[in-house]
Amino acid sequence: MQMPEPRADILTGRARIVERLRAALPPGAVIDDAIELKVYECDGLAAYRCPPMCAVLPGSTAEVSAVMRICNEEGVPVVPRGSGTSLSGGALPTADSVLLGVARLNGVLEVDYDNRFIRVEAGRTNLSVTGAVEQDGFFYAPDPSSQLACAIAGNIAMNSGGAHCLKYGVTTNNLLGVTMVMADGEVVEIGGAHLDAGGLDLLGLVCGSEGQLGVVTEATLRILAKPEGARPVLVGFDSSEVAGQCVSDIIKAGIVPVAIEFMDRLTIRAAEAHVAAGYPDCEALLIIEVEGSAGEIDDQLGRIIAIAKAHDPVEIRESGSAAESERIWKGRKTAFGAMGQINDYMCLDGTIPVSELPFVLRRIGELGAEYGLDVGNVFHAGDGNMHPLILYDANKPGDLEKAEALGADILRLCVEVGGCLTGEHGVGVEKREIMTAQYGADDLEIQMQVKDVFDPQWILNPAKVFPLEVSAGRRS
């Protein structure tokens, strides 16, 4: 992975730029000490690191606006950062950039149960949005695995999903409005407490734009009444293909579980070794969760189990209590960490049509064998969003590059079968160069023209999303 050469003219102006930012922000909001900057040198894609020229931590929309005004005047790239949990390098700085962290913007501005929304500052963590309303029986639906740490700002930038988006949709389906600071510092309000746009759907455009169109400082989010209860069933199969068929049959039967999660043998064993969740040792495992009252849950699980039984499962375990539910989920929720115990890993995020699941799983196995790398699969099966985990050894020279090449091959495979490069992690730097596998020249050009409208100077997160060569003319 390459990043553009830092611009010498910006680096020579560093002292002046830092000075101007200091003058505009309260004490302590500008960080330029080399040791303190280490915190900001990478995000969740820790294989790539580069400290920014400086970091700023504004505490209000007005302060974000002041930062953007200065950076726009100076022509300095700005890399926005929520909590830094991105798995695609969305918050990876360049040496000539100002890293803009929104972590201090974490307040709740308004809670409105009659109209079912909450307005928060965008640095607030995903889980603490639900935390602000759950005592009154409400929740915020999108639930990325990193929800304890990740910020709403980053969720909006990457249009994050989560295990439960099969029923509730992803961020864009739950976002009502934003306050956003434009590249030139102007503050714009898009959407609000009402539904849908009165003109062009700018909100739909901003969501998932990876911090390239503006810095979101406040968000109005839909909140929903919590269901009365939820309960999973775990089903083990001795073939991935059969597990995939079972998923299809459940969906075709008209049942909408809130989540259908899939784990393969490698991740099942890793999870067992890690937390001893009591999973069966089998080729494929599904965790299917439904919601409702006790009676509604029984009814739905009964139908799901009847379908599963027709596929010769090696084990069916229906949760009968909160403790059993927790145990069923435990292995899944800690699966990434469990894989990390085995080795370093690279987590992919391609989405495929659900019908292609058996073929894609088989091909991933074959590709892994060709590269001599193990690949674990744990993912959201209901919506086809795969998370192949490529195991590699960061200390072994050449292993990272090999994993990157395998990753690119797997993502190309996802596109070939009718899917896409990324379902919820974003393109960032990780998938930037293979965007051409999914999009033609005009498809990319029109997206870059959208950025031209929002950010004519291309100072917002410029070295992301588009292949470097394709965006070179605009970034210079």
CA distances from residue 178 to 205, 291, 377, 413 in whole angstroms, order as listed? 12, 30, 35, 35
Question: Which of 40, 138 has the CB closer to another protein?
Answer: 138
Binding mask 417-436 for another protein (x = CB under 8 A): -xxxxxxxxxx---x---x-
Contact stretch for another protein (CB under 8 A) within 10-18, 107-115, 260-268, 337-345: 107-115
Q: Where in 290-329 is the site for another protein (CB under 8 A)?
A: 292-293, 295-296, 299-300
Q: Does 452 bind another protein (CB under 8 A)?
A: yes
Write down the least CB distance from residue 196 to another protein, Å.
6
Write down the least CB distance from residue 439 to another protein, Å.
6
Q: In the set 134, 238, 241, 249, which binds another protein (CB under 8 A)?
A: 249
Q: In the set 23, 312, 443, 472, which binds another protein (CB under 8 A)?
A: 443
> CB within 8 A of 416, min separation 6: which ones?
none
Binding mask 36-75 for another protein (x = CB under 8 A): ----------------------------------------
Q: Where in 138-167 is the site for another protein (CB under 8 A)?
A: 138, 158-159, 161, 165
Question: Which of 73, 445 has the CB closer to another protein?
Answer: 445
Q: Where in 228-247 is the site for another protein (CB under 8 A)?
A: 228
Write down the least CB distance from residue 303 to another protein, Å.
8
CB 378 within 8 A of CB 261: yes
Contact stretch for another protein (CB under 8 A) within 19-27, 360-368, 401-409, 444-452: 444-452
Residues that bind another protein (rule: CB under 8 A) add up to a total of 93
Contact stretch for another protein (CB under 8 A) within 269-277, 281-289, 359-367, 415-423: 415-423
Binding mask 202-221 for another protein (x = CB under 8 A): xxxx-xxx------------
Write down the least CB distance from residue 350 to another protein, Å.
9
Write down the least CB distance from residue 224 to another protein, Å.
9
Binding mask 340-359 for another protein (x = CB under 8 A): -----------xxxxx----
Write down the least CB distance from residue 236 to another protein, Å.
21
Contact stretch for another protein (CB under 8 A) within 77-85, 253-261, 319-327, 368-376: 253-261
CB 287 within 8 A of CB 234: yes
Q: In what order do the strands lie in the sheet with 108-112?
A: 108-112, 117-121, 215-222, 175-181, 187-191
Write down the least CB distance from residue 213 to another protein, Å.
8
Contact stretch for another protein (CB under 8 A) within 71-79, 196-204, 401-409, 467-475: 196-204
Q: Where in 377-406 is the site for another protein (CB under 8 A)?
A: 380, 383-385
